[in-house]
Each structure stands twice: as C-alpha cells, then as structure tokens.
Amino acid sequence: MNSEPIDIQTALASFEALWSPRIVTRVNDYDVRIAKVAGEHLWHVHENTDEFFMVLDGELRIALRDPDEREVVLPRGSVFVVPRGTEHKPSSAGGAALLLFEPSGTSTVGDRHDPVPEHVDATTGHELR
C-alpha cells in the first residue's frame, strides 16, 4: 500500500467504473475502499461481517430485510452499518461516491446473492492505481 497521503477526490477521479470498488489503503485486516455507484446493486448478504458505508457525494439508499423490509436513506456525509447477516440492496438514482470498510477479501456481492447483473463487478476490490 501507499506510504504517502491519498487525496480521496483524486482517487475517485482515477476511475469511472460503477459498482467496482478500489482499495485505497488497508487498516489491520480491513480494506478501505472507495466506489462510484449509480442505479441498483443486487440483494445480497454478508454472513460474517458488518458492512460500513459513508457517502462522500450524492445520496445512497439501502433496502434492508431485517426482518421487515425497510429502506434507509443516506445523504452526503452520512454513515450507516449494515449488520452481518442482514440481506440488503444498495441503490442510487442520481449516483454517489462511497467510502467502505470491509475485511480484506470480502466480496462485493456477499456470501449469498441474487444473480449478478452485468453492471455489477463481483470482486474483492481492485487496487487503486
């Protein structure tokens, strides 16, 4: 990983792909990822880890099945943690930029998920270039 400070806006400007997070750095066994999103992701669940979202720009909606179906709305500057084992589906009508904390190796589509649409990158994150 880089031993120099990383400007998040510059890092976000370095890629265009949606739903395809980039690993900015690591903290212990966690990836610090950034992502650009627009449209809908897919219903999925991470059985063994919580998922931290921070909205850097735009607005993110996360539909949850916990056990009732509900939706949380995260405007710019908001944070939210989806608890492990909670089925969820992120979306953003107008697009958003996100900061995510997840254990290294965590799949973007979780442990169980709906079929993966073409616009979603099923990955454990890409190194920031």
Q: In this structure, what CATH number is given to the domain that contains residue 80?
A: 2.60.120.10
Per the domain annotation, does 96 fall within a domain?
A: yes
**pLDDT of 68:** 84
Per the domain annotation, does 2 fall within a domain?
A: no
pTM listed for this prediction: 0.93
Lowest-confidence segment of 94-98, 112-116, 124-128 by average pLDDT: 112-116
Q: What is the mean pLDDT of residues 100-111?
A: 94
Per the domain annotation, does 56 fall within a domain?
A: yes
Per the domain annotation, does 30 fall within a domain?
A: yes
Per the domain annotation, does 3 fall within a domain?
A: no
Per the domain annotation, does 1 fall within a domain?
A: no
Evaluate the CA torsion angle 46, 16, 121, 41 in order and state its sign: positive
Number of domains in the chain: 1
The predicted-structure confidence for 35-78, as pLDDT tens digits, reads as follows 999 999 999 999 999 999 999 999 999 999 988 899 999 999 99
- Distances in whole angstroms, Cα of residue 127 to Cα of each of 9, 23, 90: 16, 5, 22
Per the domain annotation, does 60 fall within a domain?
A: yes
**Rounded distance between C-alpha atoms, residue 16 and residue 26, angstroms:** 22
Per the domain annotation, does 123 fall within a domain?
A: yes
Chain centroid, CA 101 distance in Å: 8
**Which region, left, alpha or beta, applies to residue 48 given φ > 0 means left and ψ of -120 to 50 means alpha?**
alpha
Domain interval for residue 105: 8-127
